Amino acid sequence: MKLLRYGAPGQEKPGLLDADNNVRDLSSIVPDIAGNALLPESLQLLESLDVDTLPVVEGTPQQDLRLGPCVGNIGKFICIGLNYADHAAESGMDVPPEPVVFNKWTSAIVGPDDDVKIPRGSEKTDWEVELGVVIGKGGVYIDEADAMDHVAGFCVVNDVSEREFQIERAGTWDKGKGCDTFGPTGPWLVTKDEVGDFDDLGMWLEVDGKRYQNGSTKTMVYRVPFLVSYLSRFMSLQPGDVISTGTPPGVGMGCKPPVYLKGGEVMKLGIDKLGVQTQKVTKA
């Protein structure tokens, strides 16, 4: 299934994408694509529906029908740094002996095609296409062998990052990762049964039509089951939490010379089976 949220910001309704790329309304079934609606039994209920009986929503998704973040009321937006060996190399950093964990504030979350705003004073706003993992069943101290039982599905995340704020302004990475609009998420949550092999998904990102990132989840250092288990040692995971799992090479900071967003550009990015995002870059 491809689950989504559609409508004006803050007023999104739950839906799913049918085989003809029409949005079907789920408002009579679940209140939102959030929380308990992502539990395994809830997903089984949605999977059992006769899609043809659900109301068709007028408009074409990502054209004249806005999509919001594919998960509502995200409790935790957890990110993993330097999780692709080739990206660590372009950043001039070693692959960490354990996952680097940081947060994006939930106020950073926007829809997949909403504008990305460069914060005031920024000189080094950058991009990162990432595989997002959506937690379905919560838990703590989760065994790696059981980790995928806790995953509802996957989505595309653009981990927009301000490198000066992140690296040069003291403190933790969070300062440059959680600015408003720095977390486009979606277009849809694709359930894990539909994704299949998530260890070899092509991923890419373009700025103004120029391809900068062109990688695959196969070069991920710490894989999804390990990350779910690892994070659950330090915090309980709850339904609707999102884990953004790191980026392949090709970020602006790694270019020679570095390339950063100034405003007016268009970012387009996608991951195999998970859809495409398009964001116009503006100034806050």
Task: Report if residue 166 sits inside a domain.
Answer: yes
* Structural domains in the chain (count): 1
Task: Report if residue 119 sits inside a domain.
Answer: yes
Task: Report if residue 186 sits inside a domain.
Answer: yes
Task: Report if residue 56 sits inside a domain.
Answer: no
Task: Name the token pair of 126.
Answer: 């950058």
pLDDT score, position 284: 87
pLDDT score, position 219: 93
- Asked which of 3-17, 87-101, 129-143, 227-241 is least confident by mean pLDDT, the reply is 87-101
Domain CATH code at residue 264? 3.90.850.10
pLDDT score, position 144: 98
Task: Report if residue 19 sits inside a domain.
Answer: no
Domain enclosing residue 248, as ranges: 69-283
In sequence order, which residues have a C-beta less than 8 Å from that of residue 184 and are 6 or more positions away? 69, 109, 110, 111, 112, 113, 114, 116, 156, 157, 158, 160, 277, 279
pLDDT above 80 for 88? no
Task: Report if residue 229 sits inside a domain.
Answer: yes
Task: Report if residue 230 sits inside a domain.
Answer: yes
Percent of the chain with pLDDT over 90: 93
pLDDT score, position 240: 98
User: Tens of pLDDT along 204-261?
Assistant: 999 999 999 999 999 999 999 999 999 999 999 999 999 999 999 999 999 999 999 9
pLDDT score, position 86: 76
Q: What's the average model confidence in pLDDT over 94-112?
A: 94
Say if CB 165 and CB 171 are below 8 A apart: no
**H-type helices in the chain, by residue range?**
40-47, 85-90, 163, 174-177, 192-195, 224-231
Cα separation, 70 vs 50, in Å, equals 21
Task: Report if residue 25 sits inside a domain.
Answer: no
Q: What's the average model confidence in pLDDT over 34-58?
A: 98
* Beta bridge partners of residue 102, listed in sequence order: 79
pLDDT score, position 171: 80
Q: What's the average model confidence in pLDDT over 140-161?
A: 98
